[in-house]
Amino acid sequence: MTDNPYDQRIDYTKNNYLEDKDLPDNPFPLFEGWYQVALKRIHPDPNAMVLSTLKDGQPRGRVVLLKQMDKKGFTFFTNYDSAKAQEIAQDPKGSLTFFWNTLERQIRIEGSIVKIADKESDEYFMSRPIGSRIGAWASPQSSEIKTRKELEDRVRKIQEKFKGEEVVRPQNWGGLRLEPHYFEFWQGASSRLHDRIVYELDKGVWKQKRLAP
């Protein structure tokens, strides 16, 4: 490996080609299969994903953690007053990108983003460590703070507020679920002849196609 980006390349050889005859009719079994491999082989954070949103037409991305998934979609949790949540409130479209470098695999998912039910958010919040629950109350996420001490003072106030009591979920914190209508599965292959498999939802039916690398 050299310092010159022009010369920084590898040949992707870890996986067999994706054969069309082996692909499922919808994307969820394929996602689940790849995700199970990532759970076993990626450490830490196999559930890390880039969430991309729009603000006034400007794409914005950040890494969040997948916390729930089913055929309804992919759920992450955040402060509803945060920048990403406000962007979603203004334009409820987004995308997720999973990139597992050592597996030579990437998945892009696009869809609409909705709030999950309060009951679901309550259940997840109460499963979090106490420090994380206090942090959710204390942090005015995405707002400017002058110093680290300001944040630490807020934490102490919340600790005092809930002294001897259960730290329950603040109403401005909870889950958001991306409900997908598009998946692209990318798998590296030798000589840059990668596999790219797309699933698109068309009138309730998943349509599959292959893209050139």
Catalytic residues: 192
Whole-angstrom Cα distance, residue 8 to residue 17?
Answer: 24
Provide the 8-state DSSP code for 16. Answer: -
Count of H helices and E strands in the chain?
5, 9
Residues in the chain: 213
| 78 touches 173 (CB < 8 A) | yes
In which residue are the tokens 């994380």 written?
132
- The pair of three-digit structure tokens given for residue 146, joined into one six-digit string: 């002058």
The alpha-helical segments, DSSP class H, found in 16-117 are 27-41, 83-90
* Contact of 210 with 197, CB cutoff 8 Å: yes
